Amino acid sequence: MGNIEQNMDEQWHSESLQQARNMTQIELAEESGQDLVTWIGEHANDFGKLVSENPSILERLAANETHNEALEEVKKEIYH
C-alpha cells in the first residue's frame, strides 16, 4: 500500500472513531432525557477518561456488531 492510501486509511479510521465518540455521547444524552449540553457538562469527563483508559471501546462502539454491548459497558462505567 502506498503512503497516500495508508494516510487516507488512517485518516478515515481516525474520523470513524471520532464519529463513534460523538454519536455515542449524543445517544447517551438522548437516552437520559437530557439535552446534549447538560449531558456533556455532567458526563463528558467520565466518558473521556473511560475511552482514554480503554481505547478499544471506541473501536467496539464504531462497529455495528459490538456497538450495543460496548454502549452498555459505557453506561455501567459512567453512571455507576
Contact of 20 with 61, CB cutoff 8 Å: yes
Reply yes or no on whether the pLDDT at 38 is more than 90.
yes
- 2-34: pLDDT as tens digits: 777 777 777 878 899 999 999 999 999 999 999
Residue ranges per domain, the chain?
Answer: 3-78
Total Cβ atoms within 10 A of residue 19: 13
Reply yes or no on whether the pLDDT at 58 is more than 80.
yes
Q: Nearest to residue 43, comparing CAs of 57, 25, 31, 17?
A: 25
